[in-house]
Amino acid sequence: MSTATVTEPRTSLPASATLSFGGVLRAERIKFFSLRSTWWSFGVYVAISIGLAALMGATFWGEGESIPAEQQTSLVLQVATFGVFFGQLVMATLGVLVIGGEFSTGMIRSSFTAVPKRLPVLVAKAIVLGVSAFVLGVVASLASYAVGGAFLSSFGVSASLTDPDLWVPLLGSALYLAVVSVFALGIGTIVRSSAGGITAAIGAIILLPIILMMLPVEWLQDLQPYLLMNAGLASFGLNGFTASDLSTAANLVIIGIWAAVPLIVGGVLLKRRDA
C-alpha cells in the first residue's frame, strides 16, 4: 500500500510586497553601499578634491590686502571646487559600474526577477547614486574649503561660508557631481558594458569638448557652452574649455537634460531588451 504524497501549494508574496518602490529603493541602497567600488570611488574623489585644494592653496602667490573682497571669494571658490574637474571622472566611472557590473555578473537578472517592471530598479539606482554623489560633493567641497582656505588665509585671502557667493556655488558643484553620476548611469544602461560605458561617458564629458575646440568650424564652437562639462562647471562659476554667457538657471537646465536623456533612453531599452 503506497502513501500519497501531498504537496502543499507554494504561497507567494503579494505583488505589493515584492514590487514596492520603497523596498526596491532599500535594496538598491544596500547593494550600492556593499560594493567596494563605491567606497574606493568616494575615497579617491575626496583625496583628489582635498589634495588639489591643498596644492592650489599652498602654491598661491599674492597678498590678500590688494585683492578685492569679491575676488577673494572667487579665489577661495576655485580652490574649493577645483577637484571637481578631475573628480568627475571618478564619479562617472562609478555611475557606469553601478549597473554595468550587474550586467557583467548577471546579477541584473535577479533584480528583474524580483521587479519585472524593471524601470523601478533603474529609478532607484539613479536616486541612490545621485543623492550619494551630492552628499559626497558637499562633504568634499567643505573639506577642500577648510584645507585650501587654511593655506590662503596665510596670504590674507579668505571668504565666509555665510556668503551666498560661496556656499551657493559649492552646492552647485555637488549638484553637478550628482548629474554626472546619473548621466553615466544612463550611459551604462544603454551600453550594458562597464568598459564601453566608462569609455563613452568619459568621452562625452572630457573628449567631446576637446575635439570640438580643435575643429575650426564656427558653429561647432557655438555648441561648446551646451556641452555637459562646460555647462556644469559654468553653473557654479568655473570655466571649462570655453567661457559661457549663459545664466546659472540655463546651465542647470542644460545639465539636467544631459542627465535625463540617456536615463530615459536607457529605461526604454531596458524594457525592450532581454537581460
Encode pLDDT of 163-219 as tens digits: 888 898 899 999 999 999 999 999 999 999 999 999 999 999 999 999 998 988 888
Torsion sign across C-alpha atoms 17, 18, 23, 25:
negative
Domain that holds residue 91: 21-272
In a domain, 89, yes or no: yes
Average pLDDT, the chain: 87
- Give the DSSP letter of residue 204: I
266/190 Cα distance (integer angstroms): 5
Does any domain span residue 99? Answer: yes
Q: Is pLDDT above 90 for 4?
A: no
Report if residue 3 sits inside a domain: no
In a domain, 11, yes or no: no
Long-range contacts made by residues 200-207, C-beta under 8 angstroms, separation at least 24? 201/92, 201/93, 201/95, 201/96, 202/89, 202/92, 202/93, 204/228, 205/88, 205/89, 205/92, 205/180, 205/229, 206/89
Q: How many domains does the chain have?
A: 1
Residue 12 domain-assigned (yes or no): no
Residue 152 in any domain: the answer is yes
pLDDT tens string 171-180: 999 999 999 9
HSE, side-chain direction, 13 A CA sphere, residue 1: 0
Q: What pLDDT was estimated at residue 5?
A: 42
pTM of the entire predicted model: 0.87
pLDDT band at 16 (very low <50, low <70, confident <90, very high): very low
Closest CA to 223 of 212, 239, 211, 207: 212
At which residue does the C-alpha cell 550611459 appear? 187
Residue 34 located in a structural domain: yes
* Over residues 143-154, mean pLDDT: 90
DSSP state of 244: -
Residue 230 placed within a domain: yes
